[in-house]
Amino acid sequence: MSAVRVLLADDQTLVRAAFAMLVESAGDMEVVGQAGTGREAVALARSARADLVVMDIRMPDLDGIEATRLIAADEDLAGVKVLVLTTYDTDEHIVEALRAGASGFLVKDTRPADLLDAIRTVAAGEALLSPGPTARLIARFLRSPAAPVTGGPDCLSDREREVLTLVARGLTNPEIGEALGVSPLTAKTHVSRIMGKLGARDRAQLVIVAYESGLVSPGSI
């Protein structure tokens, strides 16, 4: 398997340098570019053929949310994943980033090993959505009625609504399968079918649907 090609986007040079050293220390990934602004990140995502962008939200010229939106909307960058960096308690834009097309978020003071695991998780096509923080953050900052999907849970079967609830709680496909007594492949099939019905591009958007529709509430986590 080829190494994950990582682009680092952060306006702080020291932060980028530290992340670059960490990523390069892993045997299964490599840094293919570093950007100090959102506009540079979009350009480098194209020219460096990155698989994944670690994107800070607060950047000059073009912020991480708009940069994420441009990457997600570019058909030529359809395979590029975005992992957003957030300061967590002080960052009120994480839901906007998920709506823009980010596949998950990472707390900026995360442990080094967790950063590498997060890159692997998102690069593999899974959304990085830890249950507790995701519940509190999304429930707190959901504002506008505009959702990034074309349907709601009403179009789902009872089993699909059950699966959507588990996705919103941060469970992986194997964990969903264990909870429902089915195989991970069956769980994956359910998730894919739900995404198709709702017009969602990834699991992150499924979580937003679950909260906006009231299917999941922060008190249930």
- Contacts with 83 (C-beta within 8 Å, 6 or more apart), sequence order: 52, 53, 54, 55, 102, 103, 104, 105, 106, 118, 119, 122, 128
At residue 21, the pLDDT reads 96
At residue 90, the pLDDT reads 60
In this predicted model, what pLDDT tens digit does every residue of 40-85 receive, in sequence order?
Answer: 999 999 999 899 999 999 898 899 999 999 999 898 998 899 999 8
pLDDT at 184 over 80: yes
Q: Would you state the torsion angle of the CA atoms of residues 190, 141, 71, 118, taken in this order, to the nearest 10 degrees?
A: -60
At residue 48, the pLDDT reads 93
Backbone angles phi, psi at 150, to 5 degrees: -105, -10
- Measured over all CA atoms, what is the biggest interatomic distance in the chain, rounded to whole angstroms? 49
Question: Which is more confident, 92 or 176?
Answer: 176
pLDDT at 6 over 60: yes
Question: Which is more confident, 26 or 169?
Answer: 26
At residue 63, the pLDDT reads 93
- Average pLDDT value over all residues in the chain: 83
- Which contacts of 15-19 are long-range, i.e. CB under 8 A and separated by 24 or more positions? 15/56, 19/54, 19/115
pLDDT at 151 over 80: no
